[in-house]
Amino acid sequence: MSFDVFLTFDGDCRQALEFYAKTFKAKMPVQIMTYGQNPQGSAAADKDRILYACIPICGCNVMFSDCPSDFHSTKGNNIMLTIGLDDEHEIKRIFNALADGGEIEMPLEKTFFSELFGMVTDRFGIIWQISKAKGETL
């Protein structure tokens, strides 16, 4: 099981990466995926925005992304908690419990980066991403 933090930015993700890497004496990620590299495609306006990058901070993976240009990221609610599990039943149980009284942002489904992934805002307004840990198959 892993517990990670996902930070979303509105076009300034690269600057945030540089700032946090310097602040926490972490190395800049070797691989930074842009929306232009997304195998599922993206809007032309987003091609240089960062889709995904990750740096370790104090033993925790902190993941970074720019939101698409047609989505507005509001400072203060641009943090998502991310859980990686290998047990599909536990993934579904946690996802459904968080969705109870909340709102499903993305249903649990296979994506290009995970065999099972979903996103939900719980009844308290906290955004959660639940993902099947890498390396596992359905």
User: What average pLDDT does the segment 2-20 reach?
Assistant: 90
What is the pLDDT, as a whole number, of residue 137? Answer: 36
CA dist., res. 105 & res. 1, Å (int): 22
> What's the whole-number average pLDDT of the chain?
88
Examine the pLDDT at 26 and tell me if it is beyond 50: yes
Examine the pLDDT at 55 and tell me if it is beyond 90: yes
User: What average pLDDT does the segment 27-45 reach?
Assistant: 92
List, as one string, the DSSP characters of 32-70.
-EEGGG-TT---GGGTTSEEEEEEEETTEEEEEEEPPTT
Rounded to 5 degrees, φ, ψ at 111 are: -130, 175
Contact 55, 62 (CB under 8 A): yes
127-132 and 79-85 beta bridge pairing: parallel
Amino acid, single-letter form, for residue 82: T
Residue-wise pLDDT tens digits, 84-123? 889 999 999 999 999 999 999 999 999 999 999 999 998 8
Binned at pLDDT 50, 70 and 90, residue 83 comes out as confident
CA dist., res. 58 & res. 61, Å (int): 8
What is the pLDDT, as a whole number, of residue 138? Answer: 30
